[in-house]
Amino acid sequence: MYIELTGLPGSGKTYLSQLLFARHKGAGYHSANNGTRARILDSVKKGPLAGLRTGLLGAARFATVYPDTYRYLSDPRTVEGSSLLWPTLFMSNYFFADHYWRNTGIIVADEGFVQFAVAASVGKPEAEWIAYIDSAPKIDALVVADVDVETLLERMSARPRGLPRLLRNRSTAEVEDYFAHSRRVMDVLSDRCAARGTHVMRIDAAEPADVLVPQIHAMAQSLKSA
């Protein structure tokens, strides 16, 4: 089963996914981000060519199964300032996670297809990012983390790297506009995913992680046993 966490910057996606993976690893959870990147980095240790081969192999196999999604992800214009390296890792992450773990446990990702579409939607026509999400692999469950703007700004200001590059040196009004846009995109994409059979769970990310992690775990277990 494949679960993605999506939400605004600072909503705690990475933190929640890491806690879920750490606390329930024995229940068959796998981190799509950490586990598959580790596989690629292990190849890098054997030499640059080995690492490149592993990453490109995953991307190539992804491309044969999901050609429309591959075209979108491999276009460096889809996310402002992105390089081909990150989408290649992203596609490799999905391929290796899906290939090795889908039938043996629960895959948790906080950098997934919906989150990519939220980032890529900035300044892009609505029809384009909707077409992308409709062409992407089906997600079994989507956890949408929402939280008020004040809490988000407090959390991001407290992080070592502060605000994401996209939001630095912007006025309060511009930041609020970005959050409003992203929230609308997540609502639309959540509805599109639900129409394809994805279970959508909405959480208030302002609540403590000790409350949210058991809720997500219970949802995953109920879907797995269904």
pTM (two decimals): 0.85
| Per-domain residue ranges of the chain | 2-225
Q: Which fold has domain 2-225?
A: Rossmann fold (3.40.50)
Indicate the burial class of 63 (C-beta count within 10 angstroms; 0-12, 13-18, 19 or more).
middle
Give pLDDT tens digits for 12-30. 888 888 888 888 877 778 7
Q: Which residues contact 135 (CB under 8 A, 6 or more apart)?
A: 66, 68, 69, 72
- Closest residue by Cα to residue 9 from 176, 130, 127: 176
C-alpha 146/C-alpha 179 separation (Å) is: 10
Give pLDDT tens digits for 46-104. 776 776 777 788 888 888 988 988 888 877 666 555 566 677 777 887 887 777 777 77
pLDDT band per the 50, 70, 90 thresholds, residue 144: very high
Give pLDDT tens digits for 148-192. 777 777 766 666 565 666 666 777 787 788 888 888 999 999 999
